[in-house]
Every structure is written in structure tokens, then in C-alpha cells.
Chains A and B, each alone.
Chain A
Amino acid sequence: MTLIYAGLSLGAVYALVAIGYNIVFIASHSFNFAQAQLMMIGAFVTYTGYVTFKLPTVAVLALAMVVVAVLSAIEERIAIRPVSDHQTQLITTLGFGTILTGVAQLIWGTQPLQVPFFAGAEVLTILGGRVFPVEVALVVFAVALVVAITFYTRRRMGGLAVVAMSQDEEAATLRGIDVRMLAFAAFAVTGVLGGLMGAAIGPKTFAVASLGAALAIKGFVALAIGGFGSMYGGLLGGFAIGLVEQYVARYLGSNFTNLSVFVLLLLVLMIRPTGLFGRVQERTV
């Protein structure tokens, strides 16, 4: 049971990255490589808020959200908007993410920092398995976020508009939707969420500059397994990777975790290139 909890909570971290990718992907069909690095900054800001400034939890979360949202908005302006094609966007967002990693190293150094969690670090025992409070919180947070986003996209005009835009940008424009503005807003919102996510994952993963690269790729795998654009898919993909990693590490050795995730990715993509919950592109003649 302990293994399952560990797998699920690790998976929740990957799922959060995938959710970030997904929001941007749904809104503008681009892929924000820097998403994980934004979360990494969120984790560092959380650390600074708690440890250096000794701020209360609410203020720390607000700080993390604001900082990351601002960075995210800057990224949209300098790395996404001036670049027209998605291939080059991958390179520019990778560049932006690399800058974030470099800046984080300059400010916070290369040693992992222990980010405190507001609910403490006492081990809980649930159904015979041992689990940290932050791990429970991560799983709950990831699931709640997916439910909330799904609700928003089905019940609010803004959400309807984003979904409409992802299907047919031109038709959305002709319904009076400001497609560019909305894509920008989606980026900023991802930033706000990224700050929150950083605060949530920090206590589990530690705040460390190298977090970005590892999370970026695992988050992508979660997305690819679940299917681009599918929120529930990203969640399940994340949990699947988390569990595979924990079980492989336990029974085969930690050298094999990345390898097994890679094999899993290739298998899923070869069998279902659109992912488990991805929509098959509709043919338009």
C-alpha cells in the first residue's frame, strides 16, 4: 500500500505538469516546454516565502502564483507570440525554460532545498500504508484541479470559448471570440496554476534547479499516454507513470525506472499514436 501511495503521489506531480501542458495545448495548440520550469520556480518561491521571509501560507501561495503568472505572461510575449510555427516554439520555450533553470541556479544554488508543507510532515497511516500529508494533498489537488477545469470548460462561457477555439479557431473568431487574448489568458492562468502547483510539489520533490528537465519529460509522457488535450487522460497517464516507476524501482532497481517509462511511452505511442484518451483527428474533406 505504501508503494501505491508513493506511486500515486509521484504520478500526481507528473499529472500536474501534464495539466499545465494541456491548458496551453487546448487553448493554442502549442507546446510549452517551460511549463515544468515554471513550476520549479513556484517551488523555489514557496521555499523563499516560508523559510526566508517566514510568511503565512496564504501569502506564500499568493506570492508563488503572482511570480509565476508574471513569468508565464512574459514567456507568452517573448517566446510564443513572435514565433509563428509550433516547431520553433518548442525551441523558444525550451530556451525560456533553460533561462529559468539558469536563473534559479543563480538565485537558489544547485543544492536541493527542503520546502515546508503547511500541514506538516508527520507520517499518516491509511489502509495499512504509510503516507506523508503532502502526498495525500498532491493526489487530491491533482484530481480536484482536473474536476474543476472540466467543470469550467463545460459550464462557463470562457471555458466553452476555449474548447470552441481549440476545435476551429476561425469559427471561434467569427463568434466574436478574441482568440489571441484568450490564448494569452490561458497562458497567464497556467502561470497562476503553475505557482500553486510548484507550492504543492515542492515539499515532495524538493526545490532544485534540475527539477525542470526531469519533470518536463515525464509530464510529456503522462500527456502522450493520456492523449493530447484530454484532462482525465493526463491525470491517468501521470498516475500510471508514477506507479510504474515505484514498482520498477522496487523490484528491478532504480536504474530501470526511466527505461521502463520510455518503453511504456513507445508502446503506447506505437499502438495508439493519439494516446489512450486522445481524439482521433476527424477527417474533413
Chain B
Amino acid sequence: MLQLWTAVRKVPTWVFPAAIGLFVLVLPLLGPGYELTRQIELTLILALVVSGLNISLGYAGQLAIGQAAMYAAGAYTAGMLSSAGHTDLLLQIVAAGLAALAVGILTGIPGLRLGSWSLAMTSFFLVLLVPDIVDIFEEDTGGHLGLSTMLNPTLFGRSLAPDAMYYVIVIVAIIWFAVFRNVVASRHGIAFQVLKQSPVLASSVGMSVFRTKLTGYAIGAVPAGFGGALLANLDLFVTPEAFTFHMATGALAASILGGSMSVYGAVFGASIIQFNNDQSSNFAEYSLVFFGAFLLIGGVLLRGGVAGLLRTGIRRLDRAAGLWPRRPAGAAGGGEAGGGAADAVDLPPIEGGALEVDAVAKAFGGNRALREVSLRAEPGQVTALIGPNGSGKTTLLNLVCGFYRRDAGRITVAGTAIDGASPHRIARLGVTRTFQTPLIPPGVSVAEVVISGRYTSDEVGFLSAVLRGPKFRRIRRHDLARAEDMLRLVGLAHLFDTEAATLPLGQRRMLEVARALVREPKVLLLDEAASGLDEAEVETLAAVIRRIRDAGCAVILVEHNFGLVLSLADRIVVLARGAVLAEGTPEEIENDVRVRDEYLGIVEPGDAPAVEEAGTLPERTAK
């Protein structure tokens, strides 16, 4: 039994959906009858709409649930083109996709700025507007009576027989799902998941948060437009009643039920909802109750939907057959147990760059979090930044990464001033970081997490990701090799295929280091990387940091573990109440009485009121 499974798993995964697609395509030869073909047609059209939801809701994490409006835009575009005599189906489909894209972008720009419920509500509102807009343009759309002047579709100048629409629909669906799969499996798909996990993380690997969100939302609109064009040509009739709140809820239920974060889940979900709709003669009254129950149960219990269940099942069989976790190609012997060893790999030299902070100041209201702070972190050195709570360490880090705008001063990375640059631009200058609480998107393998750090290196366009040309394959191979190197460096190579979010904290921290390192940063910021680690883990981390330093990177270590700082740092900068209190070698800092007193909270008499007090007393003190 397990041997059979092993054999099945040797077949590349794309073969299965391709085979099912092919089967559906040739199904009419078996004479299935009108009822079944009609159901398949409607299911696939709905699946197109649902796949759009899966992109924007499932992968990009945007609560944009107004796909019915894009669907309508596609249908009316095709319908009006056809009525005007442009009967070529290909033209209609492309135009419908573009129209849906336009609606997506136009409503996405304001909607995405708001996010969350506001986006959900504005996108639902959009659905409510469909009948009104159709009525306003009654002359072209036929108003609430529907558009019934469509002509028979043609393809490449030849008229299509009525039952040829079946083949068109199946082929469009197959092509779209192939595209969808390739996008999701590419770094763009991973990028959506990174963004969904945390916008801060996304910009720290160099993604523009707004552009990525808009891309997800807009791409999600396109298949809905295709679906609309197909629906219009299937019945040669378009009515606003096809694009109601009910339809929008049904599509959402299909997405949740099938599994929003999946490719083929859209087809599962759509079949269930379509089957449910089909029972209309008997069960029409119950359809809303079912939709509602699907949403409720799907939301509470089935976080991954049907696709998620399948995935778990496959994973289980794989484990039973010893196929998982897989090892990377290179780790043939792979005898290293436990994963502590971090010394087997050579870290190639990294072209580091100095981080210079010059007289930077930042106030929040009257609270002066930083006043004229200057420091310099050299490449090939570890510069530690320490200081008591509220001394301004986090503020400084956020200024360097571009999350705050500074009030005064200058920050340069390898000689380039970062001025007003947004976080993702600063990341592209070569600044990268880890987080106090590791940010690892769920459902992504260890290797993909590391690769997500290479978002900006060797850029891959959408088209290239869809077509998977030789360049794409070359970059992909390089990505995997680099990921493996980095994982071996931090001692996680044996976990290559494991789901990253399930790792214990110590390994998640190491994984963050690997992700930060994979793009060969000029400046690496480690934000309390040792907190929560046990002694052995701290030692491994220290060894890794030393190797990164020796490779030439400028490492900035924000850390509370004084022992680690003393043993690791080349220079230590001590911040206190928003200013640099001391700077020097570990020996100098260790023996500095002021540092200790400041750390232990001694406030010198006659000093300026501390930060929180400054809110009421905005008085400027000399340095």
C-alpha cells in the first residue's frame, strides 16, 4: 500500500490536476448529457471567480470580498462588445479581464488604504451598486431587464457552435489554473504570504507593501472578469440578478470551504456551492442557510478548507511512507543530528557597508525619544547597542529601517543617505533585520522562508513566473542552493522542508538570521536575537554572528544579555534617555561606572526630566 503511494508520489504533482483537466475536456465524448455539462460549465465559471478571491483573500490576506462586482464588469464588457458586433470570444475575454482589472484597481486604491473591515464593507458595497450602475446605463446594459442583444460568439473568424462553449470554458479554466498555480508557487506567491503575516516583515525584505497588496487585489479581479465573459456568452444574456449579494456570499463561502489559501480548493468549493445551487428546485429555500453554515463552520473549524484537509492527508501518507521530511539534494549523507553544528559551511565574503547615524533626533509629541544621537557601525564589526528600557533603542532601529521619519540628522548606508526613503527602499539599499518576535508566515517551508529574503535579488517578473522559462528555472535553482547554504550555516539544513512556523523559538530565530543573510546585506540589524534562547542556543547564535561579521557584514546587535554583548561586540554604544551615554570597546564599557548606574536607573540630581515628563515640560537641555 505504502509502496503504491511512494510510486504515486514520484509523479510530479502537476500531473494530477492536468489529468483531471484533460478528462473534463474530453468528457463530452462519453455523452454525459446536457445537465452534467451545464453543471460543469457553471462550476468552472464560479471556480474562476472563487480563485480570484483565493488570491486576494487567501494569499494576499485582504478582506476584499466584492468579486461579484468584477464578475459583473467582465460579463457586461463582453455583453456590450458582442451587442456592438465584436463577437470574437478571445477579444471579449481579454477585454473582460482588463475591465475587471480596471474595476479592481480603481476600487482597490481607496479600499486597500483602509484595510480590514472597511475594505470588506466597501467591496460588498460595490456589489450593491451593480444594479444601480446597470440601470443608470440602461441604454447599453439593458437595465434590470437584462442585456439580450448579444450575438453568437466567434473564434478566429469562425462561428462557434453552441456546445463548443464547453470546450472554451474548460480550456480557459485549465490555462488560468496553471497560471494561478505558477504564480502562487513563485516568489510572488510567497511574497503575498509574507505580506499577510506582517507588513513590517514585507518591507524589511524590500517589498512595497501597497504595491504588493494592490497587485494581489488586482490579479484577483482578472479571473472574475474572464468568468463574466464566459457566463455572458454561455447564455447570450446578462442580467444584474446574476451579481447579487447572494452570489457574493456564495463565492465567499466557496472560497472558505474549498480552502482560501489553495489553488484547486477554488474548484472544490465552487463544485459544492454549484451543486447546492443546482438543487434549487428542492432546496432553494435552504441555500442561504447552507451558505451561512459553510461560512460559519469554515471560519471556525476548517481553517484550510477541503484543500487543507487533503494536504494534511497527503502529508500523513508521506510521513508513513518515509517521504517526508525530504532532504535537500545536496545533503546526501546528512548525518548531522540535532542541528547544532554551524561550522560545516564557508560563508563567502559579503560586501558590507558602514551604517552612519549622524545627530539624529526624534520626538513623539513632546516626548523626545532621541536627541542628537550619532553612531557608526563599521563593516566587519559587531556594534552592540544597549541601554535601559525606554532609552531609544527601538526608536533608533525603526528610524534606520524607515518606519519613522526622523526630525533632524542624517542616516547613511554605505555612503548613501536614506533621507525620506520608505522602508522597502531602505531594505533594497542593503539593510536587513530580524525581529524581537520572529515573524514567520504560517504554511511555508523553511526553505521558502529563506528564499523570501531574496525577493529583491535576481528579480523575477510575473510573466516569467507564469511561463517558467529557462531564466526562471536558473534563478530558482540558485535560490534553492543559496537557501541551503544559509540553512547549513545556521544549523537548520536538516529541516529544509519542514513547515517553518512549527519550529521552536530558537530555530525560528536562527531561521530569521538565515533569511536576513541570504541577500548578502551590507548592514544586519539583530533585534534581541538571543532573548528566550537557552545557553546552548545562545552559543550557536554567537558563533553564527561571528562568522557573519568575519564575512564582512556590518552587524548591529540590540541585546539585553550583557554577557553575550561583552563577548561578541567590537564596539558598544550605550543609549540612555534618548542620547548616547557612552561608546567604546567592551572593556571600556564594562568599567564605566556611569553606564552601570544609568542601567540601574540612577537619576542624577538636577538632570532634565526623563522622557515621559518631557510631555509637560518641553525643555531643551545641553548635551
Seen from chain A, the residues whose Cβ lies within 8 Å of a Cβ on chain B are: 31, 78-79, 82-83, 86-92, 94-103, 105-106, 213-214, 217, 220-221, 224, 255-259, 262, 265-266, 269-270, 273, 283, 285
Q: Which of B112-120, B410-418, B465-473 makes up part of the contact surface?
A: B112-120
For A262, what are the chain B residues with a Cβ–Cβ distance below 8 Å? 122, 125-126, 129
For A102, what are the chain B residues with a Cβ–Cβ distance below 8 Å? 285-292
For A100, what are the chain B residues with a Cβ–Cβ distance below 8 Å? 292
Q: Which of B19-27, B209-217, B294-302, B517-525 makes up part of the contact surface?
A: B294-302
For A101, what are the chain B residues with a Cβ–Cβ distance below 8 Å? 288, 292
Contact of B299 among A91, A105, A258 (CB under 8 A): A91
| Complex Cα spacing A111 to B132, Å | 21
Q: 20 more A-B contacts (CB under 8 A) besides A90-B120, A92-B299, A221-B121?
A: A31-B117, A90-B63, A94-B249, A94-B292, A95-B294, A95-B297, A97-B292, A99-B293, A102-B285, A102-B288, A214-B128, A255-B132, A255-B136, A256-B132, A259-B136, A265-B125, A266-B122, A269-B110, A273-B113, A285-B369
A217-B124, A262-B129, A266-B122 given as contacts; is B295 within 8 A of A95 (CB)?
yes
A96-B292, A98-B292, A102-B291 given as contacts; is B116 within 8 A of A86 (CB)?
yes
In the complex, 29 of the A-B residue pairs with CB atoms within 8 angstroms, ordered by the A residue number, are A79-B296, A83-B300, A91-B295, A91-B299, A95-B253, A95-B293, A95-B295, A95-B296, A95-B297, A98-B249, A98-B291, A98-B292, A99-B289, A99-B292, A102-B286, A102-B287, A106-B289, A213-B128, A217-B121, A217-B125, A221-B121, A224-B118, A259-B136, A266-B122, A269-B114, A270-B110, A283-B364, A283-B365, A285-B364
Closest Cβ neighbor of B121 among chain A residues: A220
Greatest chain A CB density within 10 A among B117, B129, B289 is at: B117
A94-B252, A265-B122 given as contacts; is B289 within 8 A of A258 (CB)?
no
For B290, what are the chain A residues with a Cβ–Cβ distance below 8 Å? 102
Interface assignment of B237: CB less than 8 Å from any CB of chain A: no
Closest Cβ neighbor of B362 among chain A residues: A285
For A92, what are the chain B residues with a Cβ–Cβ distance below 8 Å? 295-296, 299-300
For B300, what are the chain A residues with a Cβ–Cβ distance below 8 Å? 78-79, 82-83, 92
Whole-angstrom distance from the CB of A44 to the nearest CB of chain B?
Answer: 15
Whole-angstrom distance from the CB of A162 to the nearest CB of chain B?
Answer: 20
A87 lies within 8 A of B114 (CB)? no
Interface assignment of B176: CB less than 8 Å from any CB of chain A: no
| Complex Cα spacing A83 to B288, Å | 22
Seen from chain B, the residues whose Cβ lies within 8 Å of a Cβ on chain A are: 61, 63, 110, 113-114, 116-118, 120-122, 124-126, 128-129, 132-133, 135-136, 245, 249, 252-253, 256, 285-300, 364-365, 367, 369, 390, 394-395
For B291, what are the chain A residues with a Cβ–Cβ distance below 8 Å? 95, 98, 102
Closest Cβ neighbor of A102 among chain B residues: B288
| Complex Cα spacing A99 to B288, Å | 6
| Complex Cα spacing A99 to B299, Å | 14
Describe B's contact surface by its main secondary structure: helix
| Complex Cα spacing A94 to B126, Å | 17
| Complex Cα spacing A78 to B295, Å | 12
| Complex Cα spacing A21 to B294, Å | 23
Whole-angstrom distance from the CB of B76 to the nearest CB of chain A?
Answer: 16
| Complex Cα spacing A98 to B364, Å | 45
Whole-angstrom distance from the CB of A219 to the nearest CB of chain B?
Answer: 10
A78 lies within 8 A of B296 (CB)? yes
Closest Cβ neighbor of B120 among chain A residues: A90
Closest Cβ neighbor of A210 among chain B residues: B245
For A103, what are the chain B residues with a Cβ–Cβ distance below 8 Å? 289
Contact of A285 among B122, B286, B367 (CB under 8 A): B367
| Complex Cα spacing A86 to B116, Å | 9
Whole-angstrom distance from the CB of A166 to the nearest CB of chain B?
Answer: 16
B114 lies within 8 A of A258 (CB)? no
For B122, what are the chain A residues with a Cβ–Cβ distance below 8 Å? 262, 265-266, 269
| Complex Cα spacing A95 to B293, Å | 6
A259 lies within 8 A of B299 (CB)? no
Whole-angstrom distance from the CB of A190 to the nearest CB of chain B?
Answer: 17
For A79, what are the chain B residues with a Cβ–Cβ distance below 8 Å? 296, 299-300
For B117, what are the chain A residues with a Cβ–Cβ distance below 8 Å? 31, 86, 90, 220
For B298, what are the chain A residues with a Cβ–Cβ distance below 8 Å? 91, 95
A90-B63, A269-B114 given as contacts; is B129 within 8 A of A259 (CB)?
yes
Closest Cβ neighbor of A212 among chain B residues: B245
| Complex Cα spacing A91 to B61, Å | 13
| Complex Cα spacing A259 to B394, Å | 45
For A87, what are the chain B residues with a Cβ–Cβ distance below 8 Å? 61, 63, 116
Whole-angstrom distance from the CB of B381 to the nearest CB of chain A?
Answer: 29
Closest Cβ neighbor of A269 among chain B residues: B114
| Complex Cα spacing A265 to B133, Å | 17
Closest Cβ neighbor of B110 among chain A residues: A266
| Complex Cα spacing A106 to B133, Å | 31
Whole-angstrom distance from the CB of B280 to the nearest CB of chain A?
Answer: 13
For B252, what are the chain A residues with a Cβ–Cβ distance below 8 Å? 91, 94
Whole-angstrom distance from the CB of A275 to the nearest CB of chain B?
Answer: 10
Whole-angstrom distance from the CB of A18 to the nearest CB of chain B?
Answer: 12
A258 lies within 8 A of B110 (CB)? no
A106 lies within 8 A of B364 (CB)? no
A285 lies within 8 A of B395 (CB)? yes
For A283, what are the chain B residues with a Cβ–Cβ distance below 8 Å? 364-365
For A98, what are the chain B residues with a Cβ–Cβ distance below 8 Å? 249, 288-289, 291-292, 295
For B286, what are the chain A residues with a Cβ–Cβ distance below 8 Å? 102, 106
Whole-angstrom distance from the CB of B221 to the nearest CB of chain A?
Answer: 18
| Complex Cα spacing A259 to B129, Å | 6
| Complex Cα spacing A103 to B291, Å | 12
Closest Cβ neighbor of A282 among chain B residues: B365
Closest Cβ neighbor of B297 among chain A residues: A95
Whole-angstrom distance from the CB of A248 to the nearest CB of chain B?
Answer: 11
Closest Cβ neighbor of B133 among chain A residues: A259
For A99, what are the chain B residues with a Cβ–Cβ distance below 8 Å? 288-289, 292-293, 296
| Complex Cα spacing A112 to B601, Å | 70
Closest Cβ neighbor of B303 among chain A residues: A88
Closest Cβ neighbor of B245 among chain A residues: A213
A269 lies within 8 A of B118 (CB)? yes
| Complex Cα spacing A96 to B299, Å | 11
For B294, what are the chain A residues with a Cβ–Cβ distance below 8 Å? 95
| Complex Cα spacing A94 to B127, Å | 15
| Complex Cα spacing A83 to B116, Å | 16
For B369, what are the chain A residues with a Cβ–Cβ distance below 8 Å? 285
| Complex Cα spacing A257 to B114, Å | 23
Whole-angstrom distance from the CB of B394 to the nearest CB of chain A?
Answer: 8
Greatest chain A CB density within 10 A among B61, B124, B128 is at: B128
B249 lies within 8 A of A258 (CB)? no
A273 lies within 8 A of B114 (CB)? yes
Closest Cβ neighbor of A104 among chain B residues: B288
Whole-angstrom distance from the CB of A66 to the nearest CB of chain B?
Answer: 22
For B287, what are the chain A residues with a Cβ–Cβ distance below 8 Å? 102
Give the 10 A-B residue pairs with the shortest CB-CB distance, closest first.
A95-B295, A102-B288, A98-B292, A99-B292, A95-B296, A102-B289, A92-B299, A91-B299, A220-B121, A213-B245
B63 lies within 8 A of A95 (CB)? no
Whole-angstrom distance from the CB of B231 to the nearest CB of chain A?
Answer: 22
Whole-angstrom distance from the CB of A117 to the nearest CB of chain B?
Answer: 28
| Complex Cα spacing A130 to B591, Å | 86
A258 lies within 8 A of B132 (CB)? yes
B132 lies within 8 A of A94 (CB)? no
Contact of A256 among B118, B136, B364, B394 (CB under 8 A): B136
Closest Cβ neighbor of A110 among chain B residues: B285
Greatest chain B CB density within 10 A among A99, A220, A270, A285 is at: A285
A217-B121, A217-B124 given as contacts; is B256 within 8 A of A91 (CB)?
yes
Whole-angstrom distance from the CB of B212 to the nearest CB of chain A?
Answer: 18
Whole-angstrom distance from the CB of A177 to the nearest CB of chain B?
Answer: 25
For A90, what are the chain B residues with a Cβ–Cβ distance below 8 Å? 63, 117, 120
| Complex Cα spacing A102 to B124, Å | 19
For A97, what are the chain B residues with a Cβ–Cβ distance below 8 Å? 292
Whole-angstrom distance from the CB of B115 to the nearest CB of chain A?
Answer: 10
Closest Cβ neighbor of B392 among chain A residues: A285
